[in-house]
């Protein structure tokens, strides 16, 4: 966690940049403008990283104590010495060895900023080892060509960058203004590196655009506090991490942060993801590149069910926020798919297809944690109840967390977290034997309002939920032992779950705390009351019919 002055610095920066960027947006749709802004932030990042490495190399070349020292005494003219230094600075091996993207001269930020306001037809000189001339036709074309050049020189970025600035209907003056604005992102801070600052700005803008886009924004962005909670619960320190519905890659970013905060290195994990939306797939790839995270997102954007990009993967950690209650997902070639081990999911709802897909890709000792709509905990339609029962009987459901409402920007549907584990036995890493039991956590009363309609978890909320789960699993480093807390958490046996007809709603297991009275507006209670009312109505109808039959027999008439 950055120190408080760093947090204050980042907050001020966020506000300033977003306010200015939003002013430049005019009437452009947020979904379109997003790509313009995030693409330029990415270009600024790779260019700044390149410039920083260039400065390091130059210092090295001019240091008499360094093995790479270039002695000016070996040149009869200063100009020849300067040219020799320039040629060395253009050697890409210096950059590749430090995992820095090679940025061609046309794409370097200063070139872009200096040229963005020049009139069409202007020719500029580009010195990239050799000297060439570039003719400007428009600011959008200049940016597209810069991105094309970066992509061409860095195979890792092949087909990742969104090169369509000429097609965006942004006024050239506003586009140049946007470049000037992004140029003001500070390169350095006493406690933060350029990567941290630009990574933070990228993530902040992703969230702001998701908010501006409303429901559509939920397709690529999972609120940070939910991502943080899942990461803190399952602790992806090392191994293979997989997200089959990765959006912009928020779970991977948070995993990196978690590892750094706990003294590990990002090289300890391997990242695998899949995403069907091409533009979102690119956002995720840029998100990883900014942070220097190696990734495998498959050959291309593709549907997770019909074109699985990692068929042989068995991941140590699976984390996801798949789209809720998707109706149009079925394809005839999915019939008898090997992934439907616990039953073929209903064709009108993909929730249990996501669950079984993730389970299929989970390693024998791995753990999966993901968000789904609350209906997945108790629905019995179209065979969903049978699949859930088989998962419970196979002792795979590790933990269920019911979340408060209003956490998402994109939906008000109540949601929950599922945690699955194929092996719930004690081990050196996971010290507690928990076979035959499932932990239920009711977190609906946690969270704070951050604006009129949205809520988020505080750090204390995350520590409370994640701590309970880790203590129950025996993976918490503290000395405190797990215990049930009425109204919040409870460890239930398979028999207890069977008693509740295999419903996994935490409210049915945790009960009420001693201090609180039952909440009459409680969603579960409302559901129970509705069910009881329906049963009472049916009983009343049956009683009336029985009474009429008895009356008919007693009077020797034909029963109605």
Q: Is 414 exposed, middle or buried (0-12, 13-18, 19+ CB in 10 A)?
A: middle
Give the pLDDT score at 175. Answer: 87
Give the pLDDT score at 263. Answer: 80
Give the pLDDT score at 202. Answer: 80
Rg (alpha carbons) of the chain, rounded to whole number:
29
Other beta carbons within 10 angstroms of residue 62's beta carbon come to 15
> With contact defined as beta carbons under 8 Å apart, do 236 and 269 qualify?
yes
Report the alpha-carbon distance of residue 147 to residue 285 in Å, rounded.
14
Q: pLDDT digit of tens for each residue in the chain (560 aa)?
A: 445 577 788 888 888 888 877 777 776 777 778 888 888 988 988 898 899 899 999 999 999 999 999 999 999 999 999 999 999 999 989 998 888 899 999 999 999 999 999 999 999 998 877 789 999 999 999 999 999 999 999 988 888 888 889 988 788 888 888 899 888 877 667 777 777 787 778 878 888 887 777 655 556 678 888 999 999 999 998 899 999 999 888 899 888 888 888 887 878 899 999 999 888 898 889 888 878 788 999 999 999 999 999 999 999 999 999 998 999 999 999 999 999 999 999 999 999 999 999 999 999 999 999 999 999 999 998 899 999 999 999 999 999 999 998 888 767 788 999 999 999 987 655 568 889 999 999 999 999 988 777 889 999 999 999 999 999 998 766 778 899 999 999 999 999 999 999 999 999 999 877 666 555 555 556 655 655 665 566 566 667 767 777 777 676 665 44
> With contact defined as beta carbons under 8 Å apart, do 508 and 488 qualify?
no
Report the alpha-carbon distance of residue 11 to residue 78 in Å, rounded.
47
For residue 272, the cross-strand partners are 242, 296
| Torsion sign over Cα 458, 462, 465, 468 | negative
Cβ burial 179-214 (10 Å sphere, 16+ → b, else e): bebbbebeeebeebebebbbbbbbbbbbbbbbbbbe
Give the pLDDT score at 413. Answer: 81
- What 3-state DSSP class applies to 134? strand
Give the pLDDT score at 428. Answer: 57
- What 3-state DSSP class applies to 269? strand
Cα-based distances in Å from 556 to 32, 464, 560: 79, 69, 12
Give the pLDDT score at 411. Answer: 73
- 446 — phi, psi (to 5°)? -90, 170
For residue 449, the cross-strand partners are 455
- 401 — phi, psi (to 5°)? -125, 120
Give the pLDDT score at 109. Answer: 93
Question: Is the pTM for the entire model greater than 0.85?
Answer: no
Give the pLDDT score at 209. Answer: 81
């Amino acid at each position: 966690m950055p120190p408080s002055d760093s947090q204050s610095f980042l907050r001020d920066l966020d506000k300033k940049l977003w306010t200015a960027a939003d002013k430049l947006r005019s009437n452009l749709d947020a979904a379109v403008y997003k790509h313009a802004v995030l693409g330029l932030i990415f270009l600024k990042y790779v260019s700044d990283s390149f410039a920083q490495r260039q400065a390091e190399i130059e210092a090295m070349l001019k240091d008499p104590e360094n093995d790479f020292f270039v002695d000016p005494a070996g040149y009869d003219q200063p100009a020849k010495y300067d040219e020799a230094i320039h040629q060395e600075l253009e050697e890409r091996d210096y950059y590749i060895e430090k995992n820095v993207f090679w940025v061609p001269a046309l794409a370097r930020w200063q070139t872009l900023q200096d040229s963005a306001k020049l009139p069409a037809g202007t020719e500029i000189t580009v010195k990239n080892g050799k000297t060439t001339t570039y003719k400007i036709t428009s600011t959008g074309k200049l940016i597209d060509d810069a991105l094309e050049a970066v992509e061409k020189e860095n195979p890792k970025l092949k087909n990742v960058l969104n090169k369509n600035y000429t097609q965006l209907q942004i006024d050239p003056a506003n586009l140049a203004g946007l470049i000037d604005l992004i140029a003001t992102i500070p390169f350095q801070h006493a406690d933060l590196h350029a990567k941290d600052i630009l990574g933070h700005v990228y993530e902040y803008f992703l969230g702001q655009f998701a908010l501006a886009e409303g429901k559509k924004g939920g397709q690529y962005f999972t609120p940070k506090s939910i991502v943080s909670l899942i990461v803190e619960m399952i602790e992806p320190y090392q191994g293979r991490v997989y997200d089959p519905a990765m959006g912009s890659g928020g779970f991977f970013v948070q995993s990196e942060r978690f590892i750094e905060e706990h003294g590990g290195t990002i090289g300890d994990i391997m990242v695998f993801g899949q995403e069907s939306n091409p533009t979102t797939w690119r956002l995720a790839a840029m998100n990883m590149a900014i942070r220097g995270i190696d990734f495998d997102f498959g050959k291309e954007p593709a549907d997770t069910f019909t074109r699985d990009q990692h068929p042989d993967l068995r991941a140590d950690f699976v984390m996801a926020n798949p789209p809720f209650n998707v109706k149009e997902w079925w394809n005839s070639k999915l019939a008898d798919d090997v992934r439907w081990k616990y039953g073929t999911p209903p064709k009108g709802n993909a929730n249990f297809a996501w669950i079984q897909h993730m389970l299929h890709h989970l390693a024998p000792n791995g753990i999966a944690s993901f968000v789904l709509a609350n209906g997945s905990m108790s629905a019995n339609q179209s065979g969903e109840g049978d699949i859930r029962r088989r998962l419970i009987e196979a002792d795979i459901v590790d933990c269920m967390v019911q979340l408060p409402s209003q956490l998402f920007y994109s939906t008000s549907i109540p949601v929950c977290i599922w945690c699955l584990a194929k092996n719930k036995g004690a081990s050196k890493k996971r010290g507690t034997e928990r076979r035959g039991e499932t932990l239920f956590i009711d977190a609906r009363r946690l969270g704070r309002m951050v604006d009129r309609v949205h809520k988020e978890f505080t750090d204390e909320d995350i520590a409370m939920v994640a701590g309970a789960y880790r203590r129950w699993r025996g993976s918490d480093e503290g000395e405190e032992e797990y215990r049930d807390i009425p109204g919040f958490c409870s460890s239930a046996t398979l028999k207890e779950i069977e008693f509740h007809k295999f419903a996994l709603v935490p409210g049915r297991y945790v009960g009420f705390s001693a201090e609180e009275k039952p909440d009459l507006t409680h969603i579960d209670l409302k559901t129970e009351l509705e069910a009881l009312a329906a049963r009472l109505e049916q009983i009343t109808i049956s009683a009336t019919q029985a009474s009429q039959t008895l009356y008919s027999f007693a009077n020797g008439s034909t029963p109605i």
